[in-house]
């Protein structure tokens, strides 16, 4: 046998021996991987844990087009300083579910070089072919901060029908003579019955547990998060951080508010900029306008 043949034969024997020695380890590793996959399948998703992942699709409804931010370089120094003009405070799936028939909607606006008008519109059904339910023009200052649109305080605002889907538009009017320059955020709005909503999603949440800890101002906040009413939780936190009965409550509400915003992959960028509350200066007559 030549030296080359002997070398090839020896190398084949060594390779076979190496594979044989590694087989138990390979089989054991495969078994460990399978066991790990089996064990992790029993782990509950993080979104099912109270308040840990509030920015997901918690409504159970089909998500509306993701248009929570409005902005662009063309409106700098007119509607806003910087690329972002405004942002709607809504869940990541862009479906605002609330138990109120006249809900409060929240919008962050950036500062600008002049006062601005904000058009608030509600349409029934789909945003593409829905009919006007309500439309109002509001006047804003040039400051940056959080604008709260409480429908119960807006003149002639309707009561939303439970179980119906609506579409909302919030349009920052940068040039009244050219509405194509508007900065618009939009999304779906649904008013639901609390008891029916909870019964469908958390049957184990009894009436007695719902009424517990009513003196704790944060109980309703966490309960709303647990059953997928993210918007209602944020509205309550917004009130507590501004109107809480003590400095400790206001501070805790502010901290929880920031946590929920920072947990959202888009809204986190404005978490620090929502501490200032803005009030619309006046309600202006709505001019004759074309649909969006």
Structural domain count of the chain: 2
**Is residue 59 situated within a structural domain?**
no
Residues 36 and 92 in one domain: no
Angle at 26 between CA 21 and CA 32, to 5 degrees: 140
**CA 171 – CA 291 distance, rounded (Å):** 12
Residues 79 and 209 in one domain: yes
Q: Note if the pTM is more than 0.85.
A: no
Residues 244 and 115 in one domain: yes
Residues 223 and 136 in one domain: yes
Q: Which residue, 62, 132, 122, 48, is CA-closest to 91?
A: 62
**Is residue 225 situated within a structural domain?**
yes
The token pair that represents 220 in the structure block: 């309703």
Q: Which residues pair with 149 in a beta bridge?
A: 105
pLDDT at 18: 43
Q: Give the helix ranges, DSSP H, for the chain.
A: 3-40, 194-201, 207-211, 219-226, 230-243, 247-262
Strand order from edge to edge, sheet including 145-150: 69-71, 84-88, 104-109, 145-150, 277-278
Residues 149 and 24 in one domain: no
pLDDT at 64: 43
* 108-165 residue pLDDT tens: 999 988 888 999 999 987 656 778 999 999 999 889 999 999 999 988 899 999 999 9
**CA 67 – CA 48 distance, rounded (Å):** 26
Residues 210 and 252 in one domain: yes
Residues 200 and 276 in one domain: yes
Residues 28 and 112 in one domain: no
How distant is the alpha carbon of residue 163 from its chain centre?
20
Residues 30 and 80 in one domain: no
Counting as low any pLDDT under 70, the low residues of the chain are 1-66, 72-77, 126-128, 205-214, 281-292
Residue range(s) defining the domain that contains residue 275: 69-284
């Amino acid at each position: 046998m030549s030296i080359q043949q002997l070398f090839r034969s020896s190398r084949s024997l060594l390779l076979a021996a190496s594979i044989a020695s590694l087989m138990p380890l390979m089989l054991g590793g495969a078994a460990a991987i399978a066991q790990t996959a089996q064990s992790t399948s029993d782990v509950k998703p993080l979104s099912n844990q109270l308040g840990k992942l509030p920015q997901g699709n918690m409504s159970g409804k089909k998500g509306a087009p993701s248009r929570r931010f409005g902005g662009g370089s063309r409106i700098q120094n007119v509607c806003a300083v910087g690329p972002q003009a405004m942002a709607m405070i809504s869940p990541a799936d862009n479906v605002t579910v609330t138990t109120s028939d006249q809900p409060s909607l929240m919008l962050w606006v950036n500062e600008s070089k002049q006062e601005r008008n904000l058009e608030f519109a509600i349409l029934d059904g789909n945003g593409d072919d829905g009919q006007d339910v309500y439309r109002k023009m509001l006047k804003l200052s040039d400051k940056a901060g959080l604008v709260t649109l409480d429908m119960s305080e807006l003149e002639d605002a309707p009561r939303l029908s439970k179980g119906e889907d609506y579409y909302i538009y919030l349009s920052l009017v940068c040039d009244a003579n050219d509405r194509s320059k508007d900065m618009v955020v939009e999304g779906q709005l649904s008013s639901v019955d609390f008891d029916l909503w909870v019964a469908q999603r958390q049957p184990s949440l009894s009436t007695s547990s719902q009424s517990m800890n009513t003196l704790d101002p944060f109980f309703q906040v966490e309960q709303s998060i647990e059953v997928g009413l993210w918007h209602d939780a944020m509205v309550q936190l917004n009130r507590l951080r501004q109107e809480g009965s003590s400095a400790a409550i206001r501070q805790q509400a502010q901290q929880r508010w920031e946590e929920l915003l920072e947990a959202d992959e888009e809204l986190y960028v404005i978490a620090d900029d929502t501490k200032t509350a803005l009030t619309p200066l006046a309600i202006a007559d709505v001019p004759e306008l074309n649909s969006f």
